[in-house]
Structure formats: structure tokens, C-alpha cells
Structure 1
Amino acid sequence: MLNIQRLSFTITTTIAICLIWTPLTLAKEKKPLPPKEFPPSPLEITVPDPLLPQGASQQPLSLEEKRSLEAALDKLNREAIAKLQAGDTEGAFATWNRELRLRRYLGTLAEIEALKRVGGIAYTRNNRQQIRYITQRLQVIQKQLEQQQTPSVQILQALGEAYLQVRSPNLAVEAYNQILIIARGNSDVAAEVETLKTIAKIHLDWFDYPAAATTYERLLVLVSNNNDVEQSLQDLAYIYDRTKQPRKAIDARKKLSLIYRQRNDFAKLSALKLAIGADYEVLAKENSNLVDEAFKNYQEAYTMAWDFQQYVRAAEALQRLVSLYIAEGQTEDALQTSQILLQAEERAANFYGMMNAYEQIGKIYLQRQENQSALAAFQKGLELAQQLGSETDEFTQQIEKISGRS
């Protein structure tokens, strides 16, 4: 009886050990399959489609076959739109992918236009996988075009636009650079200019300021039309502002000023002088000799704006002058300019501006220890603040402080 119990215990133990170790052993022996990073693109499926006529893969479609296929594909597009509107996003893109696979039988341009259309929809729906499929297909087409001796400019243009739809600016620039090479080879300056404008805009839209600046500088060598020169210089000035290059911004704006003077466009010229003054003010922090240039341009901006009754801009230029005078310790000039600023704000009917001007005048008088004049300015500022329903604490505190001294 004892032997039977021992035998039973031994068998049970052996089975338990086997149950424990067998899965571990199998796990060690069975190596896991490496995961696939991305599923295959549905745009590269080669299974025959019932919409295609027999022999479509061996020979080009006839005109009649193309028309029939185009009508069927337009119908697929409408079906996909209906599915998307009904909330069946997966079904919609599955239908579009079928359409896209078949569009290539209608020619490269037709396929690219369809890829661009669906790519734009995929982007608005944040369908990253679909965007990847379309981008990959566009790259395949681009490689095929690169192997051609004289690729079609129209197809390259469509390719660049399609890349932009799926937000691939670098690939778009590659396509436009191919157009640029063709334009130069044909000595087609007009086409070269238009292509450079497109490339520059892509760089600018995607905040690649160094590349945008380089492209606009190349443009300026080629363009002769004043409108093109103006736009290029404006964009360059903007880029130099963003990249904190005031010296280059000044150079661009000085060239712009020549155009505005030729046109007698003093509205734009006064704004330009204001910007040039600000650039010189930045440079003056490292080179104090340039302060005079800042003063000069602000004064020209103010005078020009005042003469043409642009009182808002005149006030802006005057405020810049006041701040600069105060920074330079020229309180008398700051005070006189503040009085003119008050007139400009009054003519512009800017009551908040008048209120702020009175506050500024009061503080300058305080600095000069002319308390009664400061008090009068603060009281006028307080009256305006009360009328406007604005914060009055600053004025009341200053008035109480001055009254306590008297």
C-alpha cells in the first residue's frame, strides 16, 4: 500500500514538472516572428480588377476604353465620398485606393491629380497611413520621371502640388527644382522666375527662412518687373526680421524705398521709414553711433505721415521718438515730442492714445520735478480714463503722491 502511494506521488510530481517546464522549453525553441513595420501599400496591389479590360497590363488602353474606365472611376470617387459622409471612413479610403490603383491606366497626369485630391482629403482627416501610401506612390512616379530624358513640366508641376497636399515640402521642392533645370536649359527666364517664386513661397510657408532668403536673393537677380521686385524685397525684409538680421533688413527696405518714391507711394514709404528706424534702433544697442539714423528715420516717418494725414502712423512714429529720447536722457525733446504725440492721437480720435500720452507727459514732468505741470497732465489723463471706463489707479496714485508733496 505504501509503495502504491509513493508511486502515485512520483507520477503526480513528474506530470506537474512537465506541465511547468514544457511551455517554457517550447517558448525558448520557438522564435517570435519579427513584426512588420508597415502593412503593404494598397496602391501597389496587382490583382486584376474587373473594371479593367482584358490585356490592359500588356498594352495601352484605346480611347474608348479610357473613356469607359474614367467614367467608372469617377463613379468610384462619388461612392467613396458618400461613404465618408456616412461615417464609413475605412470603406471610403478602401474605395479611393481602388480608384487610385486604376487611375494610372489613364496616364501619369491623371494618376497624380487623383493622388493629390485624395491626399488632401487624407490630410484633413489626419489619416497618416493613407498619406504614407500616397507619398510613397508619388515618389515612385518621381523616380520614373527622373529616368526620362525630357520629363513633362506639366507632370512635374502636378507632382509638386500633390506633395504639398500631403505636406511634404522637401519633396515638392525637389520636383520644382527639376522644372527649374528644364527652364534654364531652355533659357526660359519667365518660367525660371515663376518656379523660383513657388520654391521661395514653399520655404517661407514652412519657416525655412535661410532657404527662402537664398531663393529670393536669386530671384532679385532675374526679375525686372517692379511688382516682382517689391514682393521679393518685402519677403526678404520679413525673413531678415524673423532671423534677427537688422542690417540685411535695412538694405532690403532701402531698395524698397526707391520703388515707393518712384510711385509717390508715401503711405508705404512712411511705414517703411518706421521699420528702418526700428532696425537702426536694434543696431544702436551695439553701435551707439547708429542712434542718429534711428532718430532720422522715425522723424521722416512722422513728418511724411502727418503731411498725408496718416495720424495713426504719425502717432506710432512719435511714440518711438519719445521712447528713444527718454532712453537717451533727452527729456526736453521727449516732452516736446509728447505734446505733438498728444495732438496726433487727438486727430486720430484715439482717446486711449491720448490718455497714455497724458500719463507719459506727467511722468516726464515729474522727472523734471515740475510737479504742478505733472499734476495737470495726470488729472487730464484721469478724466479720460474715467470716460473710457479704463483703469484709474495709476492716475489717482500719482495725483495723491503729488498732492501730498504740495
Structure 2
Amino acid sequence: MKLRFLLKVLLLSFGIVLSALGANLAGAQAPFQNPLKVEEIEDPLLPSPPIQRSLSPLEQLRLQQQLEELNRRARATYEDGNVDEAFNIWYRELRLRQELEVSKEVEALARVGEVAWRENRSEDLRNIRQRLSNIETTAQENNHRELLQQVAESYERMRVNDRAIAVYNFLLEDSENPRPLLENIASLYESRFQYDQAAETYEKLLAMAEAQNNARAEINYLRRLRSLYEQANNPEKGITTKERLASIYQQQNNEQPLPSLFFSLGEDYQEMGRFNAASNAYEQAYRRAWSQQKYAIASNALENLAQLYRRDESLETTLNIYEQLLIVQERATDYYGLMMTYNKIGEIHQQRDRDQQALSAFENALELARSLSYQEAYFQEKINNLI
């Protein structure tokens, strides 16, 4: 009897577990319902009883006005902090917009989708994206280019950049004016940190600008490429881009951008191990920066130039560069820079057993250190070691 009773209890318990598991599975497998996917829209704002025709112009105008009022209500509700209720109102608006002009619906989808992205409402973003995707498919089938452009821009607003890029690429296939499309694609790739793809797109734009002798556009694309190659840490490509920029600026007698451009070129040459080219670039950067009173660039160029010569044990040339650097730093009233340069001059004299010159340099450094209240003991020790 006890065994039979225990068996019944076990069977009953097993049945309860199975029922619960079945209920959970059923709930988990419930199909996703997008509130924007409806076969027939029923709403008090639509004619009643339902009509089997398109809305008349007057009915469309009235509905448009009512939908604008719905949007205002949703916006006010959202600003009051009732985000869920605001989206309920917006969903009603978006469903009803399917009865009107599709371009107006796409505009509204982008507007609400942007809010969904900002509020990190992934389910709402998915719903709106799915509706936009359906519109995109129909527009592609009908080659509705203006609508596709609007869909792509809506994807951008919602940060669905992969779909925006795909639509722009579709529009590129037979576009008579590919430039703005390529610019959008390049910008989107850049926003996704896909620097190689962005650079490849800007290279296409650059080729177009060159073919059209459009110098302004050429400079713009070269600047973008310069930035991209720097972010991608690609000095080889960066050198080519900067050399072309420098050539154009020189042809235009535009001196202003050249100091920083030559300094950047010097850094790239140095990274690539092209030390002679780096030296020439730093000299160009220094001369042009000095003439334009851009003392920070002039100072940095001389500092890097001195490091190159010191690396090659060309100490006398290095000393000459540091002496010139002192003049730049004095003009810029860069007391910290002066202190460090005197220190380097002292080290080189000390390395060449010229103790008196080293002592003089370290004393100058100490005087500056005292004015800055910085590293006084460090320079005093160096002086004591020479006395």
C-alpha cells in the first residue's frame, strides 16, 4: 500500500512539473507581435463603419491634423516623464499614418525611432526598424529613389547605420550624382570606426574631385583621409596624403597650414625609419612656424630634430639645434622648456668632457628651476658633481 501510494505521489508531482514546463515553453515560443504590423486598422479617428476605399483628400487632411495632435500629446506626455504612455500614443499615431502618404509615415517613424534610440528602448527600435524595412523593400521593388533616400536618412537618425549604408549603396548603382551618397557612406563608416572602409570611400571621392579639377573638394577629402590614416595608425598612407596636401597648399601660396603639416610629416617619416626625410620635414616645419610666430610648433620641430641628430651621435649639430631652440623658447616665454633644454645642453657638454660649459648650462637650468620651484635639488646635485 505504501509503495502504491508513493508511486501515485511521484506520478502526480511529475505531471505538475511537465505542465509547468509546457506552460513556460508555450510562453517562450509565443510569436513576436509588432504593434505596427496590422492587417486592418480600426480606430475612432477613421471613418466608421470601415470603408473599402482610400481616404478622400478632405478625410486625409482631417486625419493629418488629428495625428499632429496625437504627436503633440505624446511629446507632452514624454516630457512629463511618462515614457511608456508616450510610446503608446506614438504607436497609435504610427499605425494610423499607414493610411496616409508613405513619406509622411517614414518621417514619423524616424522621429519616434530617434527617441527610442535615445531612451535605449530596443524593442521599440526593433518594431520601427522592421516597419521601415518593409517600406524599404517595397521602395526598392518600385525603384522609388526619393523614398529610399528618405528611408536611409531615417536609418541614420535611428543609428541603424548598417542599413543606411546598404540603402545608399543601392542608390549608388545608377546614380547620376554619386558624390553626396559617397559622402554619406564615408561619414557612416567613420562613425562606426571602420576607418579602412571610410578611407576607401574618401579615396573614390578624391579621384572624382581630381577628375573634375575641384581643388576645394580635393583638399577637403585629403584632410579627411589625413585624419583617418592617423586614427588607423597608417603612417605610410598618411605620408602620401600629407605630401599631396602640402603640394596643393604650396601651389596656392597658402602658408598657414604648412607648419603643422610638415611637422606631422616628420613624425610619420620618423616612424617609418626615413630619418633624412624626417629631418627635412622638421626643418621645413621650424622655418615656416618661426615666420608665422607659431612658437609651439617651431619648438616641437627643433626638439624632434635634435633627437634625430643626437641619435646619430652628431652632438655638435645637436648643440646648435638646442641653441636655436633656446631662442624660440625665450620668445615663447617657455621657462620649463628653457630649463629642460639647458639640461640637455649640459648633458652633451658633460658627455664631451667640457665641464665648464656643462656647469654653465646646469647653472642656467637651476636658476630657472628656482623660479619655477621645480627640481632644484636635481640641478644642484649636477652642479655639485662638477665643482
Q: By the TM > 0.5 criterion, same fold?
A: yes
Shift of 1:261: 1.1
Structure 1 pair 385–164 and aligned structure 2 pair: CA distance change class (3 A): farther
Query: Could you tell me how far apart the structure 2 residues matched to 1:311 and 1:56 are?
Result: 77
Shift of 1:125: 1.0
- In the alignment, which of 200, 208, 230 is matched to residue 222 of structure 1? 208
The number of residue pairs the alignment matches comes to 380
Query: Could you tell me how far apart the structure 1 residues matched to 2:31 and 2:360 are?
Result: 75
The answer (yes or no) to whether the contact 2:362–2:383 under 8 Å persists in 1 is no
The answer (yes or no) to whether the contact 2:74–2:86 under 8 Å persists in 1 is yes
Structure 1 pair 341–334 and aligned structure 2 pair: CA distance change class (3 A): same
Q: Deviations over 1:251-295 (max 9, x none)?
A: 1111111221122221211211111111111111xxxxx211110
The answer (yes or no) to whether the contact 1:163–1:171 under 8 Å persists in 2 is yes
Counterpart position of 1:237 = 226
Query: Could you tell me how far apart the structure 2 residues matched to 1:55 and 1:314 are?
Result: 81
Counterpart position of 1:404 = 385
Query: Could you tell me how far apart the structure 1 residues matched to 2:350 and 2:36 are?
Result: 76
- 1:123 equivalent to 2:104? Answer no
The answer (yes or no) to whether the contact 2:366–2:379 under 8 Å persists in 1 is no
Query: Could you tell me how far apart the structure 1 residues matched to 2:31 and 2:182 are?
Result: 36
The answer (yes or no) to whether the contact 1:73–1:99 under 8 Å persists in 2 is yes
Shift of 1:164: 1.5
Counterpart position of 1:180 = 172
Counterpart position of 1:24 = 14
Query: Could you tell me how far apart the structure 1 residues matched to 2:248 and 2:52 are?
Result: 61
- Report matched runs for 1:124-273 at 5 Å: 124-148=118-142, 150-153=143-146, 155-183=147-175, 188=176, 191-223=177-209, 224-273=213-262
Query: Could you tell me how far apart the structure 2 residues matched to 1:57 and 1:192 are?
Result: 44
- Report matched runs for 1:2-13 at 5 Å: 10=1
SS in structure 1 at match of 2:81:
coil
Shift of 1:17: 4.0
Shift of 1:90: 0.9
Query: Could you tell me how far apart the structure 2 residues matched to 1:273 and 1:222 are?
Result: 26
Structure 1 pair 117–388 and aligned structure 2 pair: CA distance change class (3 A): farther
The answer (yes or no) to whether the contact 1:249–1:279 under 8 Å persists in 2 is yes
Shift of 1:197: 1.2
Shift of 1:156: 2.1
Counterpart position of 2:367 = 383
Q: Deviations over 1:150-181 (max 9, x none)?
A: 3133x222211211222221110111123322
Structure 1 pair 38–319 and aligned structure 2 pair: CA distance change class (3 A): farther
Structure 1 pair 383–65 and aligned structure 2 pair: CA distance change class (3 A): farther
- In the alignment, which of 343, 356, 366 is matched to residue 359 of structure 1? 343
Which residue identity does 1:264 align to in structure 2?
Answer: N
Which residue identity does 2:144 align to in structure 1?
Answer: P
Shift of 1:36: 3.6
State the Cα RMSD in Å: 2.3
Query: Could you tell me how far apart the structure 2 residues matched to 1:209 and 1:253 are?
Result: 17
Q: Deviations over 1:209-240 (max 9, x none)?
A: 11111111111121132221111111112222
Which residue identity does 2:124 align to in structure 1?
Answer: Q
Counterpart position of 2:73 = 79
The answer (yes or no) to whether the contact 1:371–1:402 under 8 Å persists in 2 is no
Structure 1: unaligned runs, 5 residues or longer: 1-9, 285-289
Which residue identity does 1:42 align to in structure 2?
Answer: P
- Report matched runs for 1:313-352 at 5 Å: 313-352=297-336
Structure 2: unaligned runs, 5 residues or longer: none
Query: Could you tell me how far apart the structure 1 residues matched to 2:11 and 2:306 are?
Result: 87
Shift of 1:16: 4.8
Counterpart position of 2:287 = 303
Which residue identity does 1:24 align to in structure 2?
Answer: F
Structure 1 pair 30–79 and aligned structure 2 pair: CA distance change class (3 A): closer
- Report matched runs for 1:63-102 at 5 Å: 63-102=57-96
The answer (yes or no) to whether the contact 1:104–1:110 under 8 Å persists in 2 is no
Which range moved further: 212-221 or 380-389?
380-389
Which residue identity does 2:204 align to in structure 1?
Answer: R
SS in structure 2 at match of 1:266:
coil
The answer (yes or no) to whether the contact 1:156–1:178 under 8 Å persists in 2 is no
Query: Could you tell me how far apart the structure 2 residues matched to 1:159 and 1:57 are?
Result: 29
